Amino acid sequence: MLDAIKKDTATRMGKSVDSLELELAKIRTGRAHPSLLDHVMVEYYGSDVPINQVANVNTEDARTLTVTPWERDMVGKVEKAIMNSDLGLNPATVGTVIRVPLPALTEERRKDLVKVVRHEAENARVAIRNIRRDANNEMKKLVKDKAISEDDERRGEDEVQKLTDEYVARVEQVLEQKEKELMAI
């Protein structure tokens, strides 16, 4: 029973860290990265689909993305979707290839983005602590139902705390890496 709780807790904490990494990937650094456009939706035959389902997104150099739609008539729609996204990018079309230059970030904007990144990391830490609380509550319930002993509960709480510390450390690692990436010129 305790193993099941521990396994579920580890899985949920891992998903919190993965979610943080996905959120941080959306935050634009000065470098071009294809995942930057992942959340841009394009209208395709009446439904909205992610840009990577209608076009190839590649990096041309450190500051330029190239988007190549698979169908010629999608060029205008893809360009419009990139322009209307919340990224503040100005794509330029050359034939069937859309070039998306990324402007350099100002120092002030970098500091603002670091604040956003720290806020996201704190949300992930809170989520991990909530998962720990849920696991501890499950163990308390098992003790109350006399399914496990108090010693087992204490041992289980210690193991859950070790998991919590491990995943919070992973969040810190992801945060530190993203901050370094943001502050690099």
CA distances from 16 to 2, 22, 80 (A): 21, 10, 33
Strand partners, 42: 49
User: pTM of the predicted model, to two decimals?
Assistant: 0.69
Count of structural domains, the chain: 2
| Domain closes at, from 101, 116, 142 | 101
- Half-sphere exposure in the Cβ direction for 13 (13 Å, CA): 27
Residue range 50-73, pLDDT digits in tens: 888 889 888 888 788 899 998 888
pLDDT at 38: 79
pLDDT at 88: 72
Per the structure, the complete domain to which residue 158 belongs is given by 2-26+106-183
Q: How many other β-carbons are positioned within 10 Å of the β-carbon of residue 163?
A: 20
Residues 19 and 60 in one domain: no
Q: Could you tell me the CATH number of the domain that includes residue 143?
A: 1.10.132.20
- Encoded amino acid at 160, one letter: V
| Domain closes at, from 101, 116, 146 | 101
77 with 57: CB under 8 angstroms?
no
